[in-house]
Amino acid sequence: MLEELEKNLGYTFADKSLLENALTHSSYANEMKKHSCGSNERLEFLGDAVLGIISAEYLYFHHTRVPEGELTRLRASMVCERSLQGFARTVELGRWLRLGRGEENTGGRERSSILADAFEAVIAAIYIDGGFPAAKRFVTRFADSFFAAHLENGRRDYKTELQEIVQKNHGEKLEYVLVGESGPDHDKQFLVEVHLNNNCIGAGRGGSKKEAEQMAAREALSLMGQ
């Protein structure tokens, strides 16, 4: 019965009852008390923690030049309800939920909170059934595309922000100066300073001159309290 869902998930459970538990909403469990059917709430609790460490580890090792504040923002954006319900929809999780009659009749299969909670419960079920490596492989499927898109679309343009501030004062001159290079050709690092009227107001490193300029502008903005 659940083979199609397992195919969508990319994981086959040794213990099918774990998956069934992950799909069981509290409304269904309450109606089926006499059958000792537990809800997915405990799994959701565990899944939230597992998702948090996997997403943090992914960001730390895959995006080594992203500053801590941005890492925190990115992780929060992935583990929020809006993102999780989107992941749940990609694997058609709503089709397989076990809901009570009330939730079934009021559109529970499409409710964002229910889908997000069930997705976290599935992560926990995979973690218990196959260990951390299995849960990590599952979450990484979603992390790859999610973080790539958010880093591309959500990255601040620090150079433009700094330029707009400087332009408010006529006659101010902003200049980026390459002051150093290090490392082999295949992994070169650049050091750039940003100067305002020949005074250094920030410095940054990066794998390209463009990235180093962005980091220099970021430091300048930070020192300005922006």
Question: Is 80 exceeded by the pLDDT of residue 154?
Answer: no
- Check whether residue 33 and residue 134 sit in a common domain: yes
- Check whether residue 83 and residue 137 sit in a common domain: yes
- Check whether residue 174 and residue 146 sit in a common domain: no
Q: Could you report the per-residue pLDDT of 84-96, keeping only the tens digit for each?
A: 998 999 899 999 9
Using the 3D structure, point to which of 154, 189, 214 is the last residue of a domain: 154
- Check whether residue 135 and residue 35 sit in a common domain: yes
Is residue 109 within 8 Å of 23, Cβ to Cβ? no
Distance CA 123, CA 219 (A): 38
Phi-psi region of 77 (alpha: psi -120 to 50; beta: other; left: phi over 0): alpha
Distances (CA, A) of 127 to 46, 132, 133: 9, 5, 8
CATH number assigned to the domain comprising residue 185:
3.30.160.20
| Type of residue at 207 | G
What integer is the mean pLDDT of 101-127?
93
Q: Is 110 annotated as a binding-site member?
A: no
- Check whether residue 65 and residue 81 sit in a common domain: yes
Q: Is the alpha carbon torsion for 35, 100, 14, 81 positive or negative?
A: negative
Q: Is 187 annotated as a binding-site member?
A: no
Catalytic residues: 48, 120
Counting the structural domains of the chain, the total is 2
Q: Is 120 annotated as a binding-site member?
A: yes
Which residues form the domain of 199? 158-223
- Check whether residue 148 and residue 167 sit in a common domain: no
> Per the structure block, which two tokens stand in for 148?
């790539």
- Check whether residue 162 and residue 150 sit in a common domain: no
The per-residue pLDDT for 144 is 85
Question: Is 80 exceeded by the pLDDT of residue 202?
Answer: yes
- Check whether residue 111 and residue 164 sit in a common domain: no
Q: Could you report the per-residue pLDDT of 3-41, keeping only the tens digit for each?
A: 999 999 999 999 999 999 999 999 898 887 755 668 999
- Check whether residue 14 and residue 109 sit in a common domain: yes
